């Protein structure tokens, strides 16, 4: 048998646990959340912070926000001190002057997709869905400049002298429009569906396309040459530094589907700002977009210089040899260098950065979506605060020490709660209880969710690493059932139980038994048992009814102080090895008898006459439900003459049988 029962020992379960405490630790040991590199810090809100991949977080320049009454800004154009904005999904044209945003006009199109200066204070605007280019003069007067045939979307505009070039789709054609005569004619055809970007390189027109994503050079009418093809779906924007051309290339989310969207009655993002991490669905949707910046040098070599960790990229700009771009997830501006390092320069409340304007001193303006806003970059450092996403554990957790490692003054606060999104049920923000240096003890009450925020409170402060220690409160195991099965062929009783631990702790078991009615439990082993089945040999157990008690403990993964245990008692089960007895007497044709068993109930009496098939006798009181039962049976008439043999067989509740051979001579 698998496990032969030891001689019974009287030992309480608590004493057994104390004797065999194991050194292996699990739930009783603290864990740590660690923010140590740019990938870690991106899982939080960088409010007024710049993030370097190896140097950590520092204060970013202050941003001044100008609200724009639109869902998103798709294109922008600077003309001196004036900014023109083209928006969607209700196509509108705005101008920004002296810090004031003014709506100039609304068009019958879901999106103004492209802008070009007319050189006289006015602007040309390309529309989506109508194939129109409109002109708005310096005074705000609108006219339909030209409507292109067999074209739906005007994605890009580029003015060279008296010719306005238009990148269109579907069909991937480039048109040339004479601004004096307003006559448009096809200038070049591509193999792509859409031409999304146009750029003059000083000698020729460059084009970026989608489906497929190509970089094209148009040296003259109908003279199209491919310079590069990229992995992905679209070339969203182009810029250059001398002969080196940079392209923002996206896969997943793209600009083209905007043409099929319809305006909504209320623009998103106009209510309370949603910080990254609070809107999981929006972040997951944006994450499907992937963006990268590629460059092509004068010698024709194409290489990737930046992969956006924040999703799809919009416009790309240059700060010296560094590439700056706006990303479609988390409201961040990223900066990449030739070493492959990617920094986050800004983090705003809107989810999407759809445009970045670079000036002589670096990034000077940001343009957003969800909802539309213009951010003007200042020179003075802003309040710089890093806030983690909601950090969650599987159960109630005791918060421990927090280490903020870096330079300067770092003020740390925490709050805790039991919901995925912080609400009024959470505890208020509380500073750490000082321990030493930048370390401190969290004062937030135990919960299953925590947020930490760190303010860079002095000039030149830097946060390079954040460690948050915690310990999940140990939870008791689950013990759901105990089964007992008699194995008659082996003469054993098999115990089996179901147990699990929600903390994934290793479990040990204490298995005890007692005769039913007794108050004293007897232990079946002398150490913590590590299996969930046990075979009992009844040879050391007198016949009778018994109960088994199984206690599950997580002691192997926790010290005696923190260990949790739970116990369950089985249904009574019978140990009965004795055979029942039977007595009988024939009176006339009627057999009278008594069947009895020392322990269990008599279940039936069978009677056979001269080897014939047995017949079931009846209990005198009508039911076989006692350990001693009187029975009777009316026999055939043939038994009243001659010699006969009766075989009486009695069966008890445990399946044991006893027999009596009764000779009859009449």
Q: What is the pLDDT of residues 104-134, one digit of tens each?
A: 999 999 999 999 999 999 999 999 999 999 9
Residue 497's SS3 state is strand
How many CA atoms are closer than 13 Å to the CA of 652, on its beta-carbon side?
A: 25
Looking at the predicted structure, is the pLDDT value of residue 318 above 80?
yes
Taking only the tens place, the pLDDT of each residue in 368-390 is 988 899 999 987 777 899 999 99
Handedness of CA 433, 439, 445, 451 (dihedral sign): positive
CA–CA separation, 386 vs 541, rounded Å?
A: 68
Residues of the chain within CATH 2.60.40.650 domain(s) are 581-665
Does 298 sit behind a cis peptide bond, omega within 30 degrees of 0 on the bond before it? no
Averaged pLDDT for residues 409-436: 92
CATH topology of domain 33-58+385-472: Jelly Rolls (2.60.120)
CA–CA separation, 470 vs 505, rounded Å?
A: 17
3-class secondary structure per residue, 595-662:
EECCCCCEEEEEEEECCCCCEECEECCCCCCCCEEEEEEECCHHHHCCEEEEEEEEEECCCCEEEEEE
DSSP structure string for 435-468: EETTEEE--SPSEEEEEEEEEE-STT-EEEEEEE
CA–CA separation, 19 vs 16, rounded Å?
A: 5
pLDDT-derived band of residue 99, with 50, 70 and 90 as boundaries? very high
Question: What is the pLDDT, as a whole number, of residue 397?
Answer: 92
- Please enumerate, as own/partner, the contacts of 518-527 that have beta carbons within 8 Å and a separation of 24 or more: 520/10, 521/12, 521/549, 522/8, 522/9, 522/10, 523/8, 523/9, 523/10, 523/11, 523/16, 524/5, 524/6, 524/8, 525/3, 525/6, 526/6, 526/9, 527/20
End-to-end CA distance of the chain: give it in Å, rounded: 52
Beta bridge partners of 166: 157, 175
Q: How far is CA 489 from the centre of its chain?
A: 52
Residue 11's SS3 state is coil
Averaged pLDDT for residues 165-189: 95
CA–CA separation, 663 vs 246, rounded Å?
A: 113
Beta bridge partners of 210: 194, 234
Q: Are 539 and 8 in contact (CB under 8 A)?
A: no
**Closest residue by Cα to residue 292 from 332, 359, 331, 342:** 342
Looking at the predicted structure, is the pLDDT value of residue 327 above 80?
no
Residue 63, phi then psi, degrees to nearest 5? -110, 135
Q: Are 655 and 635 in contact (CB under 8 A)?
A: no
Question: What is the pLDDT, as a whole number, of residue 593?
Answer: 95
How long, in residues, is the chain? 666
Taking only the tens place, the pLDDT of each residue in 57-94 is 999 888 899 999 999 999 999 999 999 999 988 899 99
Looking at the predicted structure, is the pLDDT value of residue 148 above 90?
yes
CA–CA separation, 146 vs 133, rounded Å?
A: 5
Averaged pLDDT for residues 483-507: 87
Q: Are 47 and 383 in contact (CB under 8 A)?
A: yes
DSSP structure string for 253-277: S-SGGGGG----SS-TTSSSPPPTT
Helix (H) and strand (E) counts for the chain? 3, 56
CA–CA separation, 53 vs 513, rounded Å?
A: 63
CA–CA separation, 233 vs 210, rounded Å?
A: 6
CATH superfamily for 13-27+475-575 is: Immunoglobulins (2.60.40.10)
Residues of the chain within CATH 2.60.40.10 domain(s) are 13-27+475-575
Looking at the predicted structure, is the pLDDT value of residue 15 above 50?
no
Residue 488, phi then psi, degrees to nearest 5? -65, -35
What mean pLDDT value characterizes the chain?
86
Looking at the predicted structure, is the pLDDT value of residue 14 above 50?
no
* Higher pLDDT among residues 645 and 254, named by residue: 645
Taking only the tens place, the pLDDT of each residue in 438-464 is 689 999 999 999 999 999 998 889 999
Q: Distance of CA 613 to CAs 207, 339, 646, 648, Å? A: 101, 97, 11, 12
CATH of 581-665 among 2.60.40.650, 3.30.70.20, 3.90.1150.10, 2.40.50.140:
2.60.40.650
Taking only the tens place, the pLDDT of each residue in 565-617 is 999 999 998 888 889 999 999 998 899 999 999 888 999 999 999 999 999 99
CA–CA separation, 161 vs 64, rounded Å?
A: 36
**Closest residue by Cα to residue 114 from 141, 151, 68, 77:** 77
Looking at the predicted structure, is the pLDDT value of residue 1 above 70?
no
Q: Specify burial of residue 248 (Cβ count, 10 A radius: 0-12, 13-18, 19+).
A: buried
């Amino acid at each position: 048998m698998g496990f032969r029962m030891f001689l019974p020992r009287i030992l309480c379960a608590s004493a057994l646990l104390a004797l065999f405490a194991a050194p292996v630790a699990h739930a009783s040991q603290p864990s740590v959340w660690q923010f140590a590199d740019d990938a870690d810090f991106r899982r939080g809100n960088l409010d007024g912070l710049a993030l370097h991949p190896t140097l950590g977080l520092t204060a970013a320049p202050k941003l001044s926000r100008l609200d724009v009454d639109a869902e998103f800004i798709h294109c922008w154009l600077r003309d001196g001190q004036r900014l023109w904005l083209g928006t969607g999904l209700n196509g509108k044209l705005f101008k920004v002057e002296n810090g004031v945003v003014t709506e100039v006009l609304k068009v019958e199109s879901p999106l103004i997709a492209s802008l070009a200066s007319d050189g006289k204070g006015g602007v040309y605007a390309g529309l989506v869905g109508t194939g129109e280019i409109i002109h708005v003069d310096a005074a705000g007067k609108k006219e339909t400049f030209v409507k292109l045939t067999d074209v739906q979307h005007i994605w890009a505009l580029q003015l060279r002298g008296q010719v306005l070039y238009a990148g269109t789709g579907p069909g991937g054609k480039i048109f040339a429009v004479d601004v004096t005569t307003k006559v448009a004619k096809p200038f070049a055809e591509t193999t792509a569906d859409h031409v999304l970007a146009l750029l003059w390189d000083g000698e020729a027109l460059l084009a970026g396309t989608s489906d497929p994503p190509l970089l094209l050079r148009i040296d003259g009418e109908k003279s199209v040459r491919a310079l590069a093809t990229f992995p992905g779906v679209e070339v969203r924007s182009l810029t250059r530094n001398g002969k080196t051309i940079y392209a923002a290339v996206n896969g997943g989310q793209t600009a083209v589907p905007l043409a099929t969207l319809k305006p909504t009655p209320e623009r998103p993002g106009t209510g309370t700002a949603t910080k990254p991490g609070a809107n999981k669905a929006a972040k997951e949707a944006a994450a499907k977009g992937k963006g990268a910046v590629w460059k092509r040098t004068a010698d024709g070599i194409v290489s990737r210089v930046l992969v956006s960790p924040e999703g799809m990229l919009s416009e790309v700009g240059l700060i010296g040899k560094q590439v700056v771009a706006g990303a479609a997830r988390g409201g961040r501006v990223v900066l990449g260098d030739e070493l492959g390092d990617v920094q986050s320069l800004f983090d705003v409340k809107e989810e999407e950065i759809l445009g970045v304007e670079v000036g002589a001193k670096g990034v000077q303006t940001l343009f957003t979506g969800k909802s539309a806003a213009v951010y003007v970059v200042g020179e003075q450092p802003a309040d710089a605060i890093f806030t983690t996403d909601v950090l969650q554990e599987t159960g109630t957790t005791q918060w421990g020490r927090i280490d903020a490692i870096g330079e300067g003054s770092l003020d740390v606060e925490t709050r805790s709660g039991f919901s995925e999104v912080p609400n009024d049920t959470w505890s208020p923000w509380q500073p750490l209880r000082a321990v030493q240096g930048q370390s401190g003890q969290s004062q937030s009450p135990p919960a299953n969710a925590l947020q930490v925020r760190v303010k860079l409170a002095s000039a030149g402060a830097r946060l390079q690493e954040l460690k948050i220690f915690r310990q999940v409160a140990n939870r008791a195991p689950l013990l759901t059932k105990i089964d007992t099965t008699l194995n008659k062929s082996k003469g054993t009783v098999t115990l089996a139980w179901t147990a699990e631990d929600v903390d994934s702790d290793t479990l040990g078991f204490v298995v005890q038994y007692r005769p039913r009615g007794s108050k004293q439990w007897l232990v079946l082993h002398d150490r913590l048992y590590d299996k969930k089945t046990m075979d009992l040999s009844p040879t050391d157990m007198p016949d009778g009814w018994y109960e088994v008690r199984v206690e599950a403990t997580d002691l192997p993964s926790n010290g005696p102080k923190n260990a949790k245990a739970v116990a369950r008692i089985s249904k009574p089960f019978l140990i009965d090895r004795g055979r029942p007895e039977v007595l009988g007497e024939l009176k006339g044709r009627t057999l009278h008898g008594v069947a009895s068993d020392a322990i269990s109930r008599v279940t039936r009496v069978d009677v056979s006459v001269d080897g014939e098939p047995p017949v079931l006798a009846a209990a005198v009181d009508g039911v076989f439900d006692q350990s001693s039962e009187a029975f009777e049976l009316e026999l055939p008439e043939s038994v009243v003459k001659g010699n006969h043999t009766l075989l009486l067989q009695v069966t008890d509740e445990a399946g044991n049988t006893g027999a009596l051979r009764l000779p009859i001579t009449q």
